[in-house]
Amino acid sequence: MFINCNGKLLSLEKPIVMGIINLTPDSFYENSRKLTEKKLLGTCEKMLYEGAEIIDIGGYSSRPGAPLVNEEEEARRTLKSIALLHNHFKEIILSIDTTRNNIARQAIENGAAIINDISAGEDDFQMLTTAASLQVPLIMMHKKGTPQTMQQLTNYEDVTEEVLEYFAAKLISPPSLNIHDIIIDVGFGFAKNTTQNYQLLSALDRFKIFQKPIMVGLSRKKMIQNVIQSDAGNALNGTSAAHTISLLKGANILRVHDVKEAIECIKIVGMLN
């Protein structure tokens, strides 16, 4: 299994790690915020050294209750940083975490190679055609509502069945059929309560039916904090446990704050195969 990242083939035959770099002042995990050029370059260098294959850049926090950020501010936060990283680390594969078609297009022009859209094209209907025209991979995530409303939208008869149905419909839509590489993300923490998150984690292997790479984004999230009765800063051990489960269930990409520890999870689980 490979994805084509602007001409560079990235193998997913073994699980890989995506490192998170937030260019926001309000991301839920304080240590992930990199608001100076020095911190940005230093963090990226460390993540690459520790084994990250992809670096995900975001300029708009999607944590529950996060304030709205206009398009101009999101562009200001992300585009120059993407160009800086692309020019500084020649072989880097960058992902832009955005729901806005215009931001995604400009990010690709500045050196990004993957679009990570938490709305799967629902927030900006041009996103799917943009990903298809640019011939770059698109990460599609399941969510309902917005960061301001999603915690009130957790009513499901069966969360796993509804998320499976969502992707079944999404992947056969005409715009999606023209996208070269699609990665699916069940959206841990987005319009799901703690119990629903673990129901999805337990059933993650069912999403292999789509024959698409599966990305997991659960690093230090409330679904872990709530169980171990901790905060984001002390949720690394719980995160590693959840990562191990997700790998056993078929995850191909771990989107993480802590690259070294995620790589160790992949190495341990790899010994079972």
77 is catalytic: no
> Which tokens is 3 given?
């994805």
271, with CB counted inside 10 A (0-12, 13-18, 19+), is exposed
Tokens at 107, concatenated = 């990010």
Tokens encoding 138: 């698109």
Residue 174 tokens, joined: 């005409």
Whether the Cβ atoms of residue 18 and residue 52 lie closer than 8 Å to each other: yes
From 100, 220, 221, 249, the catalytic residue: 221
- Cα separation, 136 vs 80, in Å, equals 20
Catalytic-labelled residue, pool 77, 144, 222, 255: 255
Active site residue 260: no
In a 3-state reduction of DSSP, which class is residue 208? helix
CA dihedral over 30, 33, 37, 41, signed as positive or negative: positive
- What is the Cα–Cα distance from 231 to 202, expressed in whole angstroms? 23
Report, as residue numbers or ranges, the catalytic residues: 221, 255
